[in-house]
Amino acid sequence: MRRVKSVLRSDRLVSRGTLLREHDLIPKGNEPDWLIERHRSLGRHLYTLYRIYDSRVLAGLHAAGFKDIRPVHTDIVRSVEVGGSRVTDVATRCNVTKQAAGQVIKELVSLGYVRQMTDRNDTRVRIVVFTEKGMNLIVHLGGIFKRIDSKLAAVIGKKELATFRAQVDEMIGKLG
């Protein structure tokens, strides 16, 4: 198999002066450095870890009887404070538009996990608060998080998990 020389020019992958199309493949072992780094990026690893973690959270919720909860719901639930949160704050924490967050919140309202109310100080502001069913969900989430953390500690070690958590907290504090 001949080696393909590839470079990135103007956001287009070019091989030997010819624009590569979506279906063109770069032979294994001949990937350019930028493509290798793309697969090794910290962001990609963190996202993969998040998806693994979230799938275990969802499995735990389904096993506890919360079978109507979907992955998109867990993002919103994690972003609502126990005492209630503004819809705009929930959207910001989830990195989605207010409209997208509102749509998922409406689903959670129809499922009985949260309710919306108007802010006493500003009638334009909508507050999302947990219902009794929602608080039950939060209690179960706490137990699920502890079980997942125990499994992670068994994989990498308790001390290493604590160090990892501290390092992530530090990065978030400095970058966020």
pLDDT tens digit at each of 176 positions of the chain: 444 444 444 444 554 555 556 556 667 777 777 777 777 889 899 999 999 999 999 999 999 999 999 999 999 999 999 999 999 999 999 999 999 999 999 999 999 999 999 999 999 999 999 999 999 999 999 999 999 999 999 999 999 999 999 999 999 999 97
User: Are residues 152 and 137 located together in one domain of the fold?
Assistant: yes
Residue type, 165: R
User: Are residues 114 and 69 located together in one domain of the fold?
Assistant: yes
User: Are residues 30 and 117 located together in one domain of the fold?
Assistant: no
Q: pTM for the complete prediction?
A: 0.75
User: Are residues 86 and 108 located together in one domain of the fold?
Assistant: yes
CA neighbor of 82 nearest in space, from 143, 128, 145:
128
User: Are residues 49 and 24 located together in one domain of the fold?
Assistant: no
Q: Which domain holds residue 20?
A: 6-40
User: Are residues 25 and 70 located together in one domain of the fold?
Assistant: no
Residue 166 lies in a domain: yes
- For residue 5, what is the DSSP state? P
Number of domains in the chain: 2
User: Are residues 18 and 89 located together in one domain of the fold?
Assistant: no
Structure tokens at 175: 């970058």
Structure tokens at 51: 């998806």
DSSP track, 119-174: -SS-TT-EEEEE-HHHHHHHHHHHHHHHHHHHHHHHHH-HHHHHHHHHHHHHHHHH
